[in-house]
Amino acid sequence: MSTVATTEALGGERSQQRTLRIWIGLLGAGVAVGLAAWVYQLANGLAATNMRNPMMWGLYITLFMYFVGLSAGGLIVASAGRLFGAARFKPVVRIAVIEATVAVMIAALLLIPDIGRPDRAWHLLRYAHVTSPLIWDLTIVTVYFLISATYVWVYTRADLAARGSRLALGTGTSAAELRRDDRLKGILAAVGLPAAILLHSITAWIFGLQIARGFWYSAIMAPLFIASALVSGTALMILLALVVRKTGKVSFKDDLVRYLGGMLAVFLAVEAFLVFSEMLTAAYPGAGFEADPAWRLLTGPYAGFFWFEVAAGLVVPFVLLAVPRLRANPRWVVAACVLAVVGILIHRVNIVLNGLSYATVPYPPGVSIGTAQPVGQTSFAVSYFYHPALIEYLVAGGVICFGALVFTLLARKLPLREGAHAAASASPAPAREAGMSGENSSG
């Protein structure tokens, strides 16, 4: 597979351009549909969704924490790689930091359709209430986004300058400036790693500090969120790196895929251990505040989700990545990554569904649903079956399409290959078309 980049000929280039145009067109259509769906939701209120009082958070919040988690890959590879000196990550660092920036942006955008009064979002600044984990989270999401975006710029700056791009913001490629880059990368790594850990912990605390919810109120939530973020973030990063390699924008050997796969195996093992520890502790008493929701998850109506998460999301990918012979084959690594990415999504679904779908005061008739029901149907529910409405899928899909669009454009326009500036600093290359890639043929 590593030869794909070198055999990419001009004919392939043309069909690739066409594929890219179709892809961008599809994403654009997705964004348009999502926007239209959001306008519909604004006009009808959140009644247009399937969320109700007995299940007040749904797809948007689930995907919010999922995308917060997906942003982990970037800063872990960039920061940990830098701090602990893993130079082998170099070819994928830029993809990783772009992934982090885009994922955290998607997460933040997903909060907008979730709130009932987006027109009052400015209240979050005007009346910020410091004891609310939501305020902590918005702060760290903003900080993390800025760090990631800075990362992207610092890593690509010299190559942009060599191209003569305005995105270099007037910086050049002198030896002193390259040395400053190196210093900046060190500082960013030192700030980025704790910021990443805080980001996942604080997102966990939105759930983990709720004394009303037996399934959430646990000190393991923060470590668990860090672990699941590492699993999904790393898996997505491997997938994105392989996709981008197909286009010839980067090149790396399969050995790196094998190495990243090994890392993912470790993350999966940690995640599996934490899930096991959480479930055992909660379920062991057999009944009560923690045990009731745990047993509902193990044997209740949503048990299928949990066992899917365990089998397809943890065990199978771990085996695929732990066996050296399988890990050496990128196809198996890809399969494991896809399973891990889906598995963590289901893990997030389980957290929200199981935490919220059962009334905390479990007596009939239960919590009032919140919208007028047809005659003959109850207005109350002790447990409420939630599945996202079409409008929720469309709005969330629109946000994700927008993120994918931003990622595609960034990956397309930014120099992902390192080292151009090393030569450029010796003999400045003639300024090529600003902000345009055009280096595929040199692969």
Which of the residues 377 through 416 are near another protein (CB under 8 A)?
Answer: 379-380
Q: Where are the beta strands (DSSP E) in 246-391?
A: 367-368, 380-381
Q: Pick from 370, 397, 428, 443 the residue near another protein by CB under 8 A.
A: 370
Pick the binder of another protein from 28, 324, 365, 419 (CB under 8 A): 365
Structure tokens at 262: 């090994």
Beta-carbon contacts of 124 under 8 Å, excluding residues fewer than 6 positions away, are 135, 138
Report in angstroms how near the CB of residue 224 gets to another protein at its nearest.
Answer: 18
Question: How far is Cα 134 from Cα 142, in angstroms, rounded to an integer?
Answer: 12
414: left (phi > 0), else alpha (psi -120 to 50), else beta?
A: beta
Binding window for another protein (CB under 8 A); candidates: 40-48, 173-181, 241-249, 333-341:
40-48
Q: Residue 213, exposed/middle/buried by CB under 10 A (0-12, 13-18, 19+)?
A: buried
Q: Which CB atom, from 123 or from 166, has the smaller least distance to another protein?
A: 123
> What is the helix, strand, coil percentage profile of the chain, to 5?
70, 0, 25
Residue 45 within binding range of another protein, rule CB under 8 A: yes
| Closest distance of CB 207 from another protein, Å | 8
Helices then strands (H, E): number in the chain? 18, 2
Q: What is the size of the binding site for another protein (CB under 8 A)? A: 53
* Cβ nearer to another protein, comparing 119 with 176: 119
Both structure tokens of 226: 């860090």
44 vs 174 by CB, closer to another protein: 44
Q: Rule CB under 8 A: is residue 361 a binding residue for another protein?
A: yes
With binding defined as CB under 8 A, does residue 134 bind another protein?
A: yes
Here's the x/- map for another protein, 86-125, by CB under 8 A: it reads as: ----------------------------xxxx--xx-xx-
Q: Say which DSSP state 381 is in.
A: E
- Footprint of another protein on 196-215 (CB under 8 A): 206, 209-213
Nearer to another protein, 209 or 436 (CB): 209
Q: Return the range that interacts with another protein (CB under 8 A); candidates 171-179, 247-255, 359-367, 425-433.
A: 359-367
Of residues 6, 19, 142, 371, which one binds another protein by CB under 8 A? 371
288-317 burial code (b ≥16 CB/10 A, e <16): eebbbbbbbbbebebeebbebbbebbbebb
* Among residues 2, 16, 53, 281, the one that binds another protein under rule CB under 8 A: 53
Over its C-alpha atoms, the chain yields an Rg (Å, rounded) of 23
Range in contact with another protein (rule: CB under 8 A) among 131-139, 259-267, 385-393, 405-413 = 131-139
Q: How far is the CB of 31 from another protein (least distance, A)?
A: 24
**Contact of 106 with 114, CB cutoff 8 Å:** no
Helix axes 254-283, 90-114, angle to 10 degrees: 40
Tokens read off for 149 = 């975006």
Contact pick of 56, 167, 272, 319 for another protein (by CB under 8 A): 56
Q: Is 329 helix (H, G, I), strand (E, B) or coil?
A: coil
Residue pair 75/193 in contact (Cβ under 8 Å)? The answer is: yes
Q: Scanning residues 243 to 272, which ones bind another protein (CB under 8 A)? A: none
Give the span between the Cα atoms of 404 and 400, in whole angstroms: 6
In the complex with another protein, which residue's Cβ is closer, 66 or 407? 66
Q: Is the peptide bond preceding residue 365 cis, with omega within 30 degrees of 0?
A: yes
- Contact between 84 and another protein per CB under 8 A: no
Nearer to another protein, 175 or 211 (CB): 211
Rounded Cα gap, residues 406 and 395, in angstroms: 17
Among 132, 142, 299, 441, binds another protein (CB under 8 A): 132
Using alpha carbons, select from 71, 135, 50 the residue that is nearest to residue 395: 50
Choice from 97, 138, 291, 337 touching another protein (CB under 8 A): 138
How far apart, in whole angstroms, are the C-alpha atoms of residue 443 and residue 177? Answer: 26
Closest CB to another protein among 1 and 128? 128
Q: Give whichever of 41 and 165 is closer to another protein, judged by the CB atom.
A: 41
- Tokens representing residue 388 in the block: 């996202």
For the CB of residue 383, give the shortest distance to another protein in the complex, in Å.
12
Which residues in this chain contact another protein in the complex, by CB under 8 A?
44-48, 51-54, 56-57, 114-117, 120-121, 123-124, 126-129, 131-135, 138, 206, 209-213, 289, 356, 359-361, 363-373, 379-380
